[in-house]
């Protein structure tokens, strides 16, 4: 029976829509929140060694001497298994494992646990191809048909057999643990941005969905049609990626534990939106039938301190990754990577700060990639190791007080399907990767948040509405929401205008001014103006219900009033809505906007905001979930200026807290007043680029 192209498209759209709806409702409606867990009381720390330093016995001995000299910097050593980022022939790999077995034995005689960092599972890039793996293997393939000749498809049976033997050979070398490096992903396999679209993967996708696709037809389905049509096929593809990597984790676990069921497995992750952010499922696969604890190493790009503000951005990426891990994962070591591992890439105090910052965001330790990758003397490393050794008690203290308790605060909405919404209303799905704006809202003193479950206020931006079911949207609008003009437009177009309180009446691609009105949330700043030069695209609003309130108005440079620039509204469901059309997430570095936005977020949360820095300082703040009134938080001075008289407002009945500096020196802080449910604590001084821990006595 011949089926027309039109009917095939209709059948596929209906089937894919059903698949994606099921994904939204059951598997991916929101990240699984971390649950409070008993703190370990001690940070987990590991030193990674590249092959050249451990293949040569002289440099290896020098490395062990350095680690022994600075006892406590790392308890474990993870040895890179390969030199290049492409696959390794098993003959070469077996020879390396014979040497590595001796190196690990020697490390144990010095008191270290010893294991492996499996550098290549799927491959990172095209590198050293003339000496890399050859054979009848399927390369990673892009949607345009290009391949990465150093990276391999995880669905290829021949490559699966190779991987199984490779992990078995590694296990026979008797490691205490095996870390799986971050090439277990379906994106960024140079020169490809996204993969894998080989014939085998397309065949599997056909089995999963019941629809046959070529690369060309799949690219068209991703990028053309209605939003719901694109959403359906994209959601099905994300589930395909989850299935692929879940099967791979199961293969690795079986291959390792068949040789030695006691070897601990660890996984290195990143912000894996295209993979479907399926970390909770990976842990189930990797723990196996013996339910061995799985380690985790969240990562991100902060390789030198030339742009120091990227440090906090990495911490926020790390926090997202940790937020989806099951509570049983308690060994979470952030990746501290100074590539190309030249000593002057990061100052010693910045390396120390980075470890503490990632612990604040949810980690319980760190893995260091800070030693040379090649045969180099270790001169110049003593100051860095001395700084890490000195800071080790502070890392332990942070882990003890913070543990795995969830981070509570303000978060930009995301869930496991967020990649589906990228460019869904226009453009190519495979444009630059999804980013979560964390920007200046955190730097002015509002608390970071990573989980929908523990968000005091949720930020909505363009297109992320499409990652939610109607029930989830209604629930969100019943809570506390801050949104930009594009999100407001999209919600109203979807029929939610009775819950938003505003509508867009004008846009301006040029320069504008925001003027503050008389309103309690503006306080003494009524009449002030805000300009964000150079030009920024702006939205002006009107009220759609009388109950809505304007906070600021928008003017063009001819002093023509365009409408409301910022407003608030409490809807009939009790939800509190804030809309901002003029630089809603940035250019907040003046006292008027900084103070106003904190008042707005406190109002939006109905005074449920866990805390905030009320004074005018550049900071980053991580507050952990209060349990039985307990307080535990970390606060950084994210500026080159010293911070004096930092005013911290905390939602607590506690009137006395203990402040710890990075030398673990304790100072008692007494509340200096109360504002509603918030106690006021003043921290006298924090040095530039330092972090403080505040907790109950």
Per-residue pLDDT tens over the stretch 332-380: 999 999 988 888 899 999 999 999 999 999 999 999 999 998 888 899 9
Confidence category of residue 37, pLDDT binned at 50, 70, 90: very low
Report helix, strand or coil for 330.
coil
For residue 21, being part of any structural domain is answered with: no
Length of the chain in residues, anyone? Answer: 697
Per-residue pLDDT tens over the stretch 482-525: 999 999 999 999 999 999 999 999 998 888 999 999 999 999 99
For residue 656, being part of any structural domain is answered with: yes
CATH number of the CATH domain containing 33: 3.20.20.80
Comparing 35 with 576, which gets the higher pLDDT? 576
pLDDT of residue 375: 83
For residue 11, being part of any structural domain is answered with: no
The answer to whether residues 416 and 390 belong to one domain is no
The answer to whether residues 187 and 228 belong to one domain is yes
The answer to whether residues 439 and 361 belong to one domain is no
The answer, yes or no, to whether residue 6 has pLDDT greater than 60, is no
Range of 687's domain?
613-695
The answer to whether residues 464 and 548 belong to one domain is yes
Chosen domain end from 606, 634, 663: 606
> Which of 414-418, 531-535, 645-649 has the least mean pLDDT?
531-535
The answer, yes or no, to whether residue 18 has pLDDT greater than 90, is no
pLDDT of residue 438: 64
Per-residue pLDDT tens over the stretch 542-597: 999 999 999 999 998 889 999 999 999 999 999 999 999 999 999 999 999 999 99
pTM: 0.93
Per-residue pLDDT tens over the stretch 103-162: 999 999 999 999 999 999 999 999 999 989 999 999 999 999 999 999 999 999 999 999
For residue 121, being part of any structural domain is answered with: yes
Domain count for the chain = 3
For residue 7, being part of any structural domain is answered with: no
Chosen domain end from 606, 640, 658: 606
CATH number of the CATH domain containing 548: 3.40.50.880
pLDDT of residue 536: 79
The answer, yes or no, to whether residue 32 has pLDDT greater than 50, is no
- 279 token code pair: 């970390």
For residue 156, being part of any structural domain is answered with: yes
The answer to whether residues 328 and 452 belong to one domain is no
The answer, yes or no, to whether residue 67 has pLDDT greater than 60, is yes
pLDDT of residue 374: 85
For residue 15, being part of any structural domain is answered with: no
Work out the average pLDDT over 77-100.
95
Q: Which residues contact 251 (CB under 8 A, 6 or more apart)?
A: 160, 163, 164
pLDDT of residue 432: 67
Q: Which residue blocks in 478-590 are alpha helix, DSSP H?
A: 485-493, 497-500
Per-residue pLDDT tens over the stretch 206-233: 999 999 999 999 999 999 999 999 999 9
pLDDT of residue 13: 46
The answer to whether residues 251 and 350 belong to one domain is yes
The answer to whether residues 600 and 649 belong to one domain is no
The CA angle 428-429-435, to the nearest 5 degrees, is 115
The answer to whether residues 379 and 459 belong to one domain is no
* Distinct helix (H) and strand (E) counts, the chain: 17, 31
For residue 472, being part of any structural domain is answered with: yes
**Contact 139/152 with Cβ under 8 angstroms?**
yes
CATH number of the CATH domain containing 669: 2.60.40
The mean pLDDT of the chain is 92
- 550 token code pair: 């304007």
> Residue 643 is inside which H or E element, if any?
strand 643-651
The answer to whether residues 383 and 521 belong to one domain is no
The answer to whether residues 461 and 372 belong to one domain is no
The answer to whether residues 582 and 690 belong to one domain is no
Per-residue pLDDT tens over the stretch 662-679: 999 999 999 999 999 999
Report helix, strand or coil for 177.
strand
Chosen domain end from 404, 435, 451: 404
The answer to whether residues 342 and 413 belong to one domain is no
């Amino acid at each position: 029976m011949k089926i027309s192209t039109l009917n095939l498209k209709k059948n596929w759209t209906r089937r894919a829509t059903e698949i994606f709806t099921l994904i939204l409702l059951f598997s991916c409606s929101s990240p699984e929140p971390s649950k409070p867990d008993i703190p370990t009381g001690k940070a987990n720390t590991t030193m990674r060694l590249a092959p050249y330093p451990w293949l040569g016995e002289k440099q290896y001995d020098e490395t062990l001497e350095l680690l022994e000299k600075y006892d406590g910097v790392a308890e474990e050593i993870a040895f890179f298994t390969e030199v290049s980022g492409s696959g390794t022939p098993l003959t070469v790999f077996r020879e390396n494992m014979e040497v590595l077995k001796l190196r690990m034995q020697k490390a144990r005689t010095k008191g270290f646990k010893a294991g492996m960092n499996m550098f290549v599972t799927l491959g990172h890039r095209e590198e050293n191809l003339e000496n890399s793996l050859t054979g009848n293997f399927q390369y990673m393939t892009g949607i345009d048909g290009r391949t990465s000749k150093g990276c391999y498809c995880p669905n290829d049976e021949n490559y699966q057999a190779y991987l199984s033997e490779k992990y078995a050979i590694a296990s026979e070398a008797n490691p205490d643990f095996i870390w799986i490096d971050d090439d277990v992903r379906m994106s960024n396999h140079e020169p490809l941005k996204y993969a894998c679209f080989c014939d085998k993967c397309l065949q599997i996708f056909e089995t999963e969905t019941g629809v046959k696709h070529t690369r060309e037809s799949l690219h068209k389905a991703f990028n053309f049609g209605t939003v719901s049509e694109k959403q359906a096929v994209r959601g099905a593809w994300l589930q395909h990626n989850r299935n692929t990597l879940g099967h791979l984790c199961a293969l690795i676990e079986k291959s390792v534990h068949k040789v030695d069921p006691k070897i601990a497995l660890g996984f290195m992750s990143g912000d894996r939106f295209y993979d479907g952010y399926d970390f909770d499922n990976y842990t189930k696969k990797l723990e196996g039938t013996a339910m061995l604890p799985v380690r985790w190493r969240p990562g991100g790009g902060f390789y030198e301190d030339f742009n120091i503000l990227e440090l906090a951005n990495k911490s926020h990426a790390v926090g997202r990754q940790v937020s989806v891990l099951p509570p049983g994962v308690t060994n979470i070591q952030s990746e501290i990577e100074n590539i190309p591992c030249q000593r002057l890439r990061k100052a010693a105090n910045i390396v120390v700060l980075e470890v503490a910052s990632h612990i604040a965001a949810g980690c319980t330790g760190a893995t260091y990639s800070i030693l040379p990758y090649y045969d180099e003397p270790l001169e110049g490393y003593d100051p860095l190791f001395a700084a890490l050794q000195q800071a080790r008690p502070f890392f332990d203290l942070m882990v003890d007080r913070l543990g795995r308790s969830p981070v509570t605060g303000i978060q930009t909405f995301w869930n496991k399907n967020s990649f589906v919404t990228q460019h869904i209303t226009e453009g190519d799905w495979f444009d630059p990767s999804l980013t979560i704006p964390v920007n200046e809202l955190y730097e002015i003193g509002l608390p970071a948040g990573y989980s929908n479950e523990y968000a005091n206020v949720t930020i909505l931006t363009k297109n992320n509405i499409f990652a939610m079911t109607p029930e989830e949207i209604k629930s969100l609008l019943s809570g506390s929401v801050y949104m930009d003009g594009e999100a407001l437009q999209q919600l109203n177009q979807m029929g939610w205008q009775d819950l938003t309180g505003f509508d867009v009446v004008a846009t301006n691609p040029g320069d504008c001014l925001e003027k503050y009105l008389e309103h309690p949330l503006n306080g003494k700043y009524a009449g002030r103006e805000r300009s964000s030069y150079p030009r920024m695209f702006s939205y002006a609003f009107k009220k759609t219900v009388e109950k809505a309130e304007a906070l600021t108005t928008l003017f063009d440079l001819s002093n023509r009033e365009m409408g409301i620039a910022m407003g608030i509204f409490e809807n009939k469901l009790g939800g509190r809505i804030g809309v901002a059309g003029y630089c809603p997430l940035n250019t907040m570095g003046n006292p008027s906007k900084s103070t106003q936005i904190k008042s707005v977020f406190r109002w939006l949360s109905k005074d449920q905001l866990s805390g905030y820095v009320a004074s005018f300082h550049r900071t980053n703040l991580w507050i952990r979930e209060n349990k039985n009134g307990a307080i535990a938080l970390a606060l950084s001075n994210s500026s080159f200026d010293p911070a004096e008289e930092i005013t911290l407002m905390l939602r607590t009945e506690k009137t006395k807290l203990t402040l710890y500096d990075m030398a673990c020196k304790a100072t008692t802080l007494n509340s200096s007043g109360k504002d509603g449910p918030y106690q006021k604590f003043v921290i006298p001084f924090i040095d530039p680029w330092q972090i403080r821990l505040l907790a109950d006595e």
